Chains A and B, each alone.
Chain A
Amino acid sequence: MKTKMTIQVQGIRKAYGKKQVLTDVAFMAESGQCVGILGGNGSGKSTLLSILSGVRRADGGSFFYGEAELLRYPGRIPKVLGYVPQEDPLMEELSAWDNLRMWHDKETLKRELAGGVLAFLGIDGFLKTPVRKLSGGMRKRLSLACAMASRPGILVLDEPSAALDLVCKENIIRCLTAYKEAGGILLLTTHDVQDLALCDKCLILKEGSLHPYEYDGDVHKLAEAL
């Protein structure tokens, strides 16, 4: 993650039947940057994220991470990209540790617990607690930990601060800022202006393509632009 890397997304298209959801999506970002993707409901934000994270196939286009084209070789995606969906993806009956073990080996987890990402997220405080007993904020941190413990170069987040209280949001933003500073590339969708403080680049997804937007703190102007 320390090496300077870039991502380049070009000409991504996706249609559901006759409905063209993404027509020509293109953007780029480099290590240490956060790209925020905004858009109204049904604008195709989740479709775009699911294509970039390898969940869904695009009808066309490319997604380069450095020299590697990821959409043609989707098997490479899990090695470089971590994805966190909006709802928590945790197994309720298992402890936080068992959930982490599903994604990572013991050595990685021990290393990250001893001063790494997991320590930063404060996972060690509830490592043995069953997920069903965790609060919303703890669940979100654990979900992030599952995606981040192996320190992927790209982190894709679908509305990371949705349904969290202010303190939890602050924690998450602090953690994601640290990830950026460590050289990670962050892609996120959001409806929350608080998340925009994290973004180096804001893009509005409208009528199937991305348009740059400079957020100046005016929410009404943003709403009009959407």
Chain B
Amino acid sequence: MRRMAGYFLAQLKRVCRLLPLQTGIGLAICSCVGILAAVLVTQGAGEGQQRYRIGLVGDVSGSYLGFGFAALQTVDDSRLMIELVEMTETEAEAALARGELTAVVRVPDDFLDAIIYGGNDTRVTYSADAGQTQLGYTVMGEIADVASTLVTASQSAIYGMQRVLYDNGSADRVGSETDKLNLMLINLVLSRSGFSEVELLGYAEGLSLEAYYVCRIVLLLPLLAGLSGGVFFLSRKSALARMLKAGGVGALSQVAGEYLAYLFFLCAGFFLPVCLLAQGLERELFSLPEWEGMGAAPFLALLPAFFSAAAMFAALQFFLYEVADGIVNGLMLQLLVGVGMAYLAGYFYPSAFFPQRLRSVGGFLPAGAAARLVESGFWERDARGAGAAVIVWLAAFLFLAAVVRQRRILKG
């Protein structure tokens, strides 16, 4: 026990020697992540007004067709999510290829003629590039619904009515009757929003986009901290492990002593950035919608959850360095596992967009369990399940690291 304590203290002394380097790396990583977070949050804040751009190609000069599209852009609910841009077919194709458009609405040249002569089988066509398929389906559904009601059917009705009035010698009533019919059709379209009431609770896992990303980014720091933590493992020696074992410090005790020192090493590296973040929140230099006017208190209340997650990530990193043969392999392993797991757990892209099976896998992984633990702090939900998962992962990684250490001692 005395030797184990001595070993732990020696590791702490090592940490103190490495601390200036680690603090520097920690600050550099935090600065990069801070800039990324600021960009994401700034974009996220504008996301409320951001709409899907749809290219409008073809002849829309017909008075009523033009009116229909104008109505789409000014009075219909779809204006909140769709921005129609008139352009030529070539421009539209190029913009679609560049990803500047989500879809193109192509109005065939004979569209109006077909309607005027009573036909209704000439359709407005839509296309989307492959990368936009998922979003495209949503948008297409909305446009098809609006277009079929307001554009296709309304055009047929207006022109049909006008022909009836002309044929029956009531040409003087065409203007007033068309206005009445237009208003009626617009009312019909507008009443769509009365069928149901949609309340937006949040973009992802019930959090605002800003909170979601801040939460994930703050977790991404300890998850990828293994890259900067490599210096801790640089001078690891099998001979020391064997000598310690001969001195009565077994594999599990060695791992425990080194892990605690490594955890301290990581926490010390991120102490300054966390203080700066708390100060920023307290002085209201920045905030989240969920924490508006509350200062740093909610952030500080989340720190135990963040710390638990960081402790689990530290155990994972420790295990990966233990498994890896050499520091370069260790760094590669940290990068692959960290980034892969972060992606699956929705750190880069909200997991709500993933298929259910993938979401389940992502939620089960350590990164997913950590996110659930921290998010439960936002909602003041029961965190026992997520907390237990984090503890089980932490214990599993340390146990596995001890098994690998034992093999390394014997192999030597």
Interface residue ranges, A against B (CB under 8 Å): 50, 53-56, 75, 77-78, 81, 83-94, 98-99, 101-103, 132, 146-147, 156
Contact = CB atoms under 8 A, between A and B. Distances in A.
B248 A91 contact: no
B248 A50 contact: no
Contacts of A90: 237, 240
B248 A94 contact: no
B381 interface: no
Interface string B200-241: 000000000000000000000000000000000001011110
B94 interface: no
A132 to B, nearest CB: 8
A89 B239 contact: yes
A92 B238 CA distance: 13
B242 A89 contact: yes
A116 B133 CA distance: 80
B239 A88 contact: yes
Interface in B266-308: none
Interface stretch (B13-21, B79-87, B100-108): B13-21
Interface in B1-29: 3, 6-7, 9-10, 13-14, 17-18
Given A53-B246, A86-B239, A98-B13, 14 more contacts: A55-B246, A77-B246, A77-B248, A89-B244, A90-B240, A91-B235, A93-B14, A93-B235, A101-B6, A101-B10, A102-B3, A102-B6, A132-B235, A146-B243
Nearest to B249: A78
B246 A94 contact: no
Contacts of A93: 13-14, 17-18, 235
* Band of interface residues on B: 20 to 34
A91 B244 CA distance: 12
Nearest to B243: A89
A119 B72 CA distance: 92
Contacts of A102: 3, 6-7, 9-10
B412 interface: yes
B243 A94 contact: no
18 contacts: A50-B410, A53-B246, A55-B242, A55-B410, A77-B246, A83-B243, A84-B243, A85-B242, A85-B243, A87-B238, A89-B243, A91-B235, A93-B17, A99-B10, A101-B10, A102-B6, A102-B7, A102-B10
Contacts of B256: none
Nearest to B248: A78
Most buried by A among B7, B238, B246, B248: B246
A75 B239 CA distance: 20
B53 interface: no
Contacts of B10: 91, 94, 98-99, 101-102
A89 B240 contact: yes
Interface string B55-81: 000000000000000000000000000
Most buried by B among A53, A85, A86, A99: A85
Nearest to B240: A89
A146 B3 CA distance: 12
A88 B10 CA distance: 16
A136 B17 CA distance: 23
B234 to A, nearest CB: 8
Contacts of B245: 54-55
A180 B412 CA distance: 27
B407 to A, nearest CB: 12
B247 interface: yes
B198 to A, nearest CB: 59
Contacts of A78: 3, 246-248
B269 to A, nearest CB: 16
Contact of A89 (B18, B237, B248): B237
A102 B261 CA distance: 14
Nearest to A92: B235
Nearest to A76: B248
A87 B409 contact: no
A190 B338 CA distance: 45
Contact of A94 (B3, B14, B409): B14
A85 B17 contact: no
A46 B409 CA distance: 12
B248 A85 contact: no
Given A54-B245, A55-B409, A78-B246, A85 B239 contact: yes
A85 B410 CA distance: 13
Nearest to A57: B410
Contacts of A89: 237, 239-240, 242-244
A75 to B, nearest CB: 7
Contacts of A132: 235
